[in-house]
Structure 1
Amino acid sequence: MSLPLADPRTIGPRIRMMMPHLTPLEGRVVDMILGRRDFDQSTSLKAVAEDAGVSEAMIVKIAKKLGFDGFKDFRTGLADYNRLPTAELHEELSPDDTDAEIARKVFRTSVHALEETLAILDPQALERAADLIFGARHRDLYGVGGSAQIARDVAHKLLRIGVRTSVFDDAHMMLMSASLLGEGDVAIAISHSGTTTAVIESIELARRRGARTIALTNYATSPLATIADVVLCSTAQGSPLLGENAAARIAQLIIFDAVFAAVARRDLKAAERNLAATMGAVAGKRRGA
């Protein structure tokens, strides 16, 4: 997945997506640089190297590993990113925060994730995902832990418009499902890290059986993303308490809201008819209905 460097909003996501490919030392250096709110066009290579306790050559090497031409290119991109209004939305939680302050920070972290996810969202990947889901014979969703909850939400959305899916959150059941898929079917894998073994193995098997595959992940260069036919990416900045998953979960749900709407648009009359039927079926289950 290639992110346009001309758009400053993609700089933060680009750096975070490449972090898993850095060594622990390189990761600590990047964290130090990202933590400097005074980092701008005047920040020298020498100053960054001295603050990080590494050589200038290592700083240049890290910049290139992150996908930049060198330190100057990295500095320009990060300085532009830091000037964005959303750059200040993410704030770490503090033991001194009031409950109201915590709520504000948590909401702003999610807003930040949504803004950046929209900036990196690939419209062509969204279109391909909608086409595959709409045209599939069977649609099986795979995810464990928090990702399984997203899979269930996706299945619920699609069922409302008459698009039937199956959700599997057990390693054995995922493999059994994948073994029965074939041409005309689609397997949808959800994994924040993109490294969940059970999900990766199931997608690999589904591909061998001839099914098409869609991945929803936070890392475009993750093992899961490299084997999927279509990759949809969220991006979220982590914090010690909330981690990345909290904000990424919101972004991933919204990505599939967009996919849901795109699938519905492919046969709007049928979607509206099925939506009326499914809503009517449960209407009597509400108090006062």
Structure 2
Amino acid sequence: MNEVMDPKSVGPRIRMMRPNLTPLEAKVVDSVFGRRDFSVETALKDVAETAGVSEAMVVKIAKKLGFSGYRDFRQNVADYVRVSDAEMHDELSPDDSGAEIVSKVFRASIQALEETLAIADVAAFERAADFIADARRRDLYGVGGSAQIARDVAHKFLRIGIHASVYDDAHMMAMSAALLGTRDVAIGFSHSGATLVTLEALQIARRRGARTIAITNYSHSPLAEAADVVLCSTARGSPLLGENAAARIAQLNILDAIFVLVAQRDVKSAEAALVRTKEAVRDKRRG
């Protein structure tokens, strides 16, 4: 790499590489990020001793993460730590007051949004919007919380006349994917990028010639490898919230941006559909 990146993007880019790391390598990275005193002055020997590994291992990990060496890694991580500390939210604690909990949860989401924006690949957003706008069928796959994000997306698209189907059952996903073709798009939602049923559905869709999009937290995950376009969210972990809570907010914003990009491709049609769908539900409201 041998370059100074946008400081806000350093942590997310390293987190996205975690699926490529061994447990020991991940432990070394965690020990670095667990240090509040990490700076451009932190010696390689100090990092190695703290993590209980050799200096050569630390250099190897730095290169595996895409840096030219330890100094490149140290400079970028130190910049990220400095920026993050200025905005840092303390970890949630069972002893927190109501006001502290509300503040920390909001700050975690704000940080996830800012870091997701820092790593956003605008070309990938545009390509995904093209796939969705031009598709004959749009099938969305996800389970658990990811299925809820998919339903939110389908709801938004329906408002502007873009039909999308959501599948959260393994058999239904597989059958849906098997019926897709070159004019269709399949979108897989998985925070980990390793949810087996979602991965299998996207792989089937790809074999059938459909365009594939992955919405995930890890750019090097199995789901990402099965996709033509990868849109990544990012969020720090937390003992109480985990990564998923804040990452979900980031993923919803990613899809909001895609929604607007798709609508932009045929504004008149989107506006006309929006008027009709608003009128259709107006009588369903009280008062």
Decide whether the 8 Å contact of 2:13 with 2:119 is kept in 1: no
- Structure-to-structure mapping, 1:121-200, within 5 angstroms: 121-200=120-199
Gaps of 5+ in 1: none
Letter in 2 for 1:44: A
Deviation at 1:40, TM superposition (A): 0.4
Decide whether the 8 Å contact of 2:116 with 2:250 is kept in 1: yes
Structure-1 residue corresponding to 2:20? 21
- Structure-to-structure mapping, 1:94-109, within 5 angstroms: 94-109=93-108
Letter in 1 for 2:160: I
Deviation at 1:131, TM superposition (A): 0.6
Deviation at 1:282, TM superposition (A): 0.6
Deviation at 1:95, TM superposition (A): 2.6
Letter in 2 for 1:60: V
Deviation at 1:59, TM superposition (A): 1.2
Letter in 1 for 2:15: R
**Matches of 1:114 and 1:219 in 2, distance apart?**
15
TM-score, reference length from structure 2? 0.96
Cα deviation 1:177-230 (Å, max 9, x = unaligned): 011111101111111111111111111111111111111111001111112111
**Matches of 2:251 and 2:221 in 1, distance apart?**
16
Decide whether the 8 Å contact of 1:264 with 1:271 is kept in 2: yes
**For residues 86 and 166 of structure 1, do their structure 2 counterparts lie closer, same or farther at Cα, with a shift above 3 Å needed?**
farther
**For residues 155 and 93 of structure 1, do their structure 2 counterparts lie closer, same or farther at Cα, with a shift above 3 Å needed?**
same
**For residues 87 and 24 of structure 1, do their structure 2 counterparts lie closer, same or farther at Cα, with a shift above 3 Å needed?**
farther
Structure-2 residue corresponding to 1:82? 81
Structure-1 residue corresponding to 2:262? 263
**Matches of 1:85 and 1:146 in 2, distance apart?**
28
**Matches of 1:183 and 1:189 in 2, distance apart?**
17
Decide whether the 8 Å contact of 1:91 with 1:109 is kept in 2: no
**Matches of 2:243 and 2:94 in 1, distance apart?**
19
**Matches of 1:159 and 1:77 in 2, distance apart?**
43
Secondary structure of residue in 2 paired with 1:96:
coil
Letter in 2 for 1:211: A
Structure-2 residue corresponding to 1:65? 64
Deviation at 1:88, TM superposition (A): 3.3
RMSD of Structure 2 on Structure 1 (CA): 1.4
Structure-2 residue corresponding to 1:8? 7
Structure-2 residue corresponding to 1:206? 205
Secondary structure of residue in 1 paired with 2:46:
helix
**For residues 240 and 198 of structure 1, do their structure 2 counterparts lie closer, same or farther at Cα, with a shift above 3 Å needed?**
same
Aligned residues: 286
Gaps of 5+ in 2: none
Counterpart check, 1:287 vs 2:283: no
